[in-house]
Structure 1
Amino acid sequence: MAVHPEGAPCWADAMVRDTEGAKRFYGEVLGWTFGEASSEYGDYTEAYADGKAVAAVVPPMPGQEDRSQWCLYFASEDAAATADRIRDNGGRVLMEPVEADDFGTLCLARDPGGVLFGVWQAGRHEGFQATAEPGACCWAEVFTREPEKSDAFFPAVFSYRAKRMEDVEVDFRVYDLGDRSVLGRMRMTEDFPPEVPSYINVYFAVADCDAAVAKATELGGVLRSGPMDTPFGRFAALSDPQGADFSVIDLTATRGKTPAFTDVP
C-alpha cells in the first residue's frame, strides 16, 4: 500500500488507562484481533481487522493521563516541517517529532482550540492497511467549540480546501485534500456537556450499526446519540467504558438526500 498523501488521516490509536480492557471491548465491538504488546514502545499494541492493521491501543502519553481518548494522525512527508507549521499557525506541539526506530516519526499537537491530533512521517509503518471496511476507520470529524480557529488552522497546516454545508441550522464543514474529502469539522453545541473538551471523533465501519451499539452498551460503553440514518450511512456515537469517544457506521445503509456544500474562499 502506498504511503498516505501529506495531510491525509493515516492512523489512529486509543490512548487508554486499561489497555487489556480496551482490547476486550474493541475486540468484541469491532471484531479486532491484536498483536503482541511492544514494551519497547510503551506497550503499544496494534489492532487488526481481517488481518490488516487498522489502529492501536496504548497507555496515555506523559501529560495526557487525564482522560482516555482516540488520537487521529495525519500523514507528513517531513514531521519537523509540519511541527513548524503547527506553531506558526497558533497550534501547540506537545511532543516534538521523535523517531520510533525505523517505523516512522511521531509528533503530537493541539490546534489553537485545544483539539488533540498526531502527525506521522511514515517509515516501515505506513499507517492504515485498510479503510472503509468493517472494523476499519472510514471518517473523522473535528468537534470544536471554536470552529473559526480550526477553520484557519487545519487548511493552513495541511493545505486543505474547505467547503461548508448549506444547512443554516448546522455549522459543519468538510476539508478536502485534492479531489477527496478527508476530514469534517462540526461546531459543538450546548448538547455537549461543558466538561467535554474539543476533540476529533473517529468513525469505524461496521456491518450492522445496531448490533455494534448493542454489543458496546452490553460491555459497558455509553450510547451518546443514534443510531440514526443519514445519506452517508446509519451511525451512532459512543463512548467506550473508559470514556474515549468514537462512532460506528454502516456505510451500506444510506438513506436520504446528500446535502449540498459550497466552497469557502
Structure 2
Amino acid sequence: MTEAREPAGPHARRTPGTPCWVSLMVHGLATTEEFYGELFGWEFRPGPQQLGPYVRALLDGDEVAGIGQLPPDRRLPIAWTPYLASDDVDQTADQVRLCGGTVAVGPLDAGDAGRMALASDPCGAVFGIWQTAAHLGTAVTGLPGTPAWDELLTFETESVAKFYSAVFGYEEEPVVSADIDYVTLRLEGRHVAGIHGVGQAVPRERGPHWMTYFEVADTDETLDRVTGLGGQVLKPARDSAHGRVGTVADPEGAVFSLVQSPH
C-alpha cells in the first residue's frame, strides 16, 4: 500500500483527492512533541497559528506532519486527521455539504501556507481539505517516520465510498470477497486510500474514523518503543499483504498504525 503515495517534491502539485498532509490536535503540545520526536526522530518548527499553537514535524529537514494544541475547554477526540488535496477548498466544501457531509471548520486561510477546511463524511469520520499555496504538504514519503497510507474504518463501504467519489472523483476498486468489505480509492490509476467496512466492530467511543499508517523500519521494535514512551499497543504486530503492521495509541490516546513495508 505504501507505493500508493504520489511522488512528493518541492514543486509537486497534488492531484485533487490525494492525501497530502496529516495533522494531530492535542492538549499537551510539548509532551506530544517529545513522544513523536523519540518515536520517529521528528524535529519541530512553528507553523501557522490560526487555530492556536501549531508546529510542523520535520524528518531530516523535510515536513511530514503537523501537531496543534487544542484550547483547554475543547473536548474533541484526539485523532490523526488526513488532509485531502483540493484546487479550490471553497468549492470542495460546497460539494461536501451537497453530498450529505458536514463542514465544521473553515474554509479559512492558514497564513500564506494555503487554505483549509475540516469536514466529516455522512457517517461522521473527520478529514481535512487542503488547497496549497506556500505549503505543499508532506514533502517526503517511503522513509521510516513518514505517512504511508490512509484508511477509513466505517460501518460499510458502499454508501460512504459514493460520498468520497462524488466529492473527490475517485475510482472505486472493491475487493471481491465474501470475507472482507474493502474498497480501494484510485486517482489516475494510482491507489491513494482505502475504505474498510467493519460493521459493528467500529469502536463505539470513536465511531467511523480515518486511520493513518506510518512507515517504520521494524514494527516489533517500534511497538516496544511506543510502550516505553508512555503509549499503548492496541493491536500487536501481524503480517499482512502490505507488510508487518501494528496499531497503537499515543499518551493522549491518538490511534495510529505502523507498517514495515516488505522490501
TM-score by length of 1: 0.90
Distance 1:62 1:123, change over 3 A: farther
- Hey, what does 2:80 align to over in structure 1? 70
CA distance in 2, matches of 1:128, 1:63: 30
CA distance in 1, matches of 2:159, 2:238: 29
Tell me which of 147, 172, 175 is aligned to 2:182: 172
Residue 132 of structure 1 deviates from its aligned partner by 2.0
> Is 1:232 aligned with 2:232?
no
CA deviations over 1:61-88 (Å, ceiling 9, x no partner): 7996332111110000000110011011
Residue 19 of structure 1 deviates from its aligned partner by 1.1
CA distance in 2, matches of 1:217, 1:190: 28
Percent of aligned positions that are identical: 35
Tell me which of 93, 101, 110 is aligned to 1:83: 93
Conserved 8 A contact 1:60-1:68: no
Distance 1:232 1:61, change over 3 A: farther
Structure 1 residues without counterparts, runs of 5 or longer: 254-265
Conserved 8 A contact 1:17-1:65: no
The aligned runs of 1:52-131 (5 Å cut-off) are 52-60=62-70, 65-131=75-141
Give secondary structure in 2 for the equivalent of 1:35: strand
CA distance in 2, matches of 1:5, 1:114: 25
Give secondary structure in 2 for the equivalent of 1:82: helix
Distance 1:83 1:58, change over 3 A: same
- Hey, what does 1:261 align to over in structure 2? none
Residue 158 of structure 1 deviates from its aligned partner by 0.5
Residue 149 of structure 1 deviates from its aligned partner by 3.3
Residue 191 of structure 1 deviates from its aligned partner by 4.2
CA distance in 2, matches of 1:34, 1:228: 31
Conserved 8 A contact 1:98-1:105: yes
Tell me which of 140, 143, 156 is aligned to 1:133: 143
> Is 1:28 aligned with 2:38?
yes
CA distance in 2, matches of 1:247, 1:116: 17
CA deviations over 1:19-70 (Å, ceiling 9, x no partner): 1111111111111111136656511100011221000110237996332111
Residue 193 of structure 1 deviates from its aligned partner by 3.8
- Hey, what does 2:224 align to over in structure 1? 214
CA distance in 1, matches of 2:200, 2:236: 17
Distance 1:88 1:23, change over 3 A: same
Distance 1:163 1:137, change over 3 A: same
Farther-moved stretch of structure 1 (108-117 vs 168-177) = 168-177
Give secondary structure in 2 for the equivalent of 1:202: strand
CA distance in 1, matches of 2:48, 2:89: 23
CA distance in 2, matches of 1:86, 1:149: 14
CA distance in 1, matches of 2:164, 2:236: 28
Conserved 8 A contact 1:132-1:204: no
Conserved 8 A contact 1:113-1:149: no
Farther-moved stretch of structure 1 (144-153 vs 241-250) = 144-153
Structure 2 residues without counterparts, runs of 5 or longer: 1-8
Give secondary structure in 1 for the equivalent of 2:17: coil
Residue 102 of structure 1 deviates from its aligned partner by 1.4
CA deviations over 1:188-232 (Å, ceiling 9, x no partner): 344444222211000110111111110001122121113011121
Q: Moved runs in structure 1, 4+ residues, more than 4 A?
A: 37-41, 61-64, 189-192
TM-score by length of 2: 0.91
CA distance in 2, matches of 1:166, 1:39: 45
Query: RMSD over aligned Cα, in angstroms?
Result: 1.8
Residue 140 of structure 1 deviates from its aligned partner by 0.7
Give secondary structure in 1 for the equivalent of 2:46: coil
CA distance in 2, matches of 1:153, 1:63: 32
- Hey, what does 1:258 align to over in structure 2? none
